[in-house]
Amino acid sequence: MSQPTRLAILGSTGSIGTQALDVVAANPGQFSVELLAANGNADLLIKQALQFKPNAVVIADEKKYAAVKEVLLPHDIKVWAGEEAISQAVELENIDMVLAAIVGYAGLRSTLAAIRAGKQVALANKETLVVAGDLVTQLAREKAVNIYPVDSEHSAIFQCLAGEFHNPVEKIYLTASGGPFRGKKRADLAQVTKQQALKHPNWEMGAKITIDSATLMNKGLEVIEAKWLFHLRPEQIDIIVHPQSIIHSIVQFSDGSMKAQMGLPDMRLPIQYALGYPKRMPSKFERFDFLEYPALTFEQADTETFRCLPLAFEALKKGGNAACALNAANEIAVAAFLQEKTGFLRIAEIIENAMAKTTFIAKPSYDDYVATDAEARQIAQGLIS
């Protein structure tokens, strides 16, 4: 019997992290959890550590360190604290694969550290490639590290490309549910509340990604991620709204043939595929029934109402540090909306203005990305009324 894959799960207390641990629990003998890292949810991190018995845990919020250490040290589980410790911990020799599921720009540093250390990466943090796709993919090539996509759309593309890597791709179609406001116009969205925006019709996700889905920024970030994952030009990527969320994405080849990956909306499936690749492990996930979905429908994305999507395409085409500025401004604007400090339609306005005002760098270094992120955040913060 082969040895279990030794995992580090970064962002273990978030939506992806908790579902990844469900996958681990459902596949005894396939995986061992060596490292768990979380931001500030100390209670859940402790509970996970007691169940999965990792070698070490990291709590990014240093104020929670003492509480976590007190409970876990008697169980022979090492406890570290701080964001720097996450980047150091992924270098441990007893780790084969890192699940990068820390939300937002915060996940970039530890993902780069994992690649630098030669670890295989299951990537759930799309912002890593949005912010610094050129650096990340170049480093992965240098270190011979595979990046396995965890986003359902990119997992779908990856699955469709299996056995097709020698065949030219003409176009990919990333599907979008349309979010909770599909079919609405700008006038309908002027007074949208946080509670309304957080009611996604199909997926169970964290607050930030759910708001991104409502604005269609999530799809914009996925477009940029797809460019780097699959070496595509902007004109090779299209968005199609598919409200049922059954077809997760489509690849069109140079002969006109199309392949789609389908399934019920359940993030555990792409997580399991990434962690177990190239093996498809059996699961007890609910199965799709064609008779329950007599019609699968498709619509064009409304880029007039949902301005975040064209902003993402604009950043992709501009290149350089433009997508880094887009992402930073979006994180600030979404946080302000969740804190009820700005309106729903203002999110796109804040991003557009911040992108225009942030210093453009055509060929940024890592330090340039760090500076761009800080500059765009400061500008976006100043735009929030």
Give 197-231 pLDDT, tens digit per residue: 998 776 667 788 899 999 999 999 999 999 999 99
Q: Are residues 99 and 10 in contact, defined by beta-carbon separation less than 8 angstroms?
A: yes
Q: Are residues 219 and 302 in contact, defined by beta-carbon separation less than 8 angstroms?
A: no
Q: Is 154 exposed, middle or buried (0-12, 13-18, 19+ CB in 10 A)?
A: buried
* pLDDT-above-70 percentage for the chain: 98
* Residue 165 clears pLDDT 90, i.e. is over it: no
- Give the model's pLDDT for residue 106: 85
Q: Of the given ranges (91-100, 125-134, 197-206, 301-310), which has the lowest mean pLDDT?
A: 197-206
Q: Which of the four pLDDT bands, split at 50, 70 and 90, describes residue 105?
A: confident
- Give the model's pLDDT for residue 73: 92
Domains in the chain: ranges and CATH? 5-149 (3.40.50.720), 154-318 (no CATH)
* Residue 54 clears pLDDT 80, i.e. is over it: yes
What lies within 8 Å, CB to CB, of 78 at 6+ separation is 55, 56, 57
* Residue 1 clears pLDDT 60, i.e. is over it: no
Over the chain, what is the mean pLDDT? Answer: 95
* Residue 163 clears pLDDT 60, i.e. is over it: yes
3-class DSSP string for 96-131? CEEEECCCHHHHHHHHHHHHHCCCEEEECCHHHHHH
Is pTM beyond 0.85? Reply is: yes
Positive or negative, the CA dihedral 113, 115, 118, 120 is positive
CA distance 245 to 237: 18
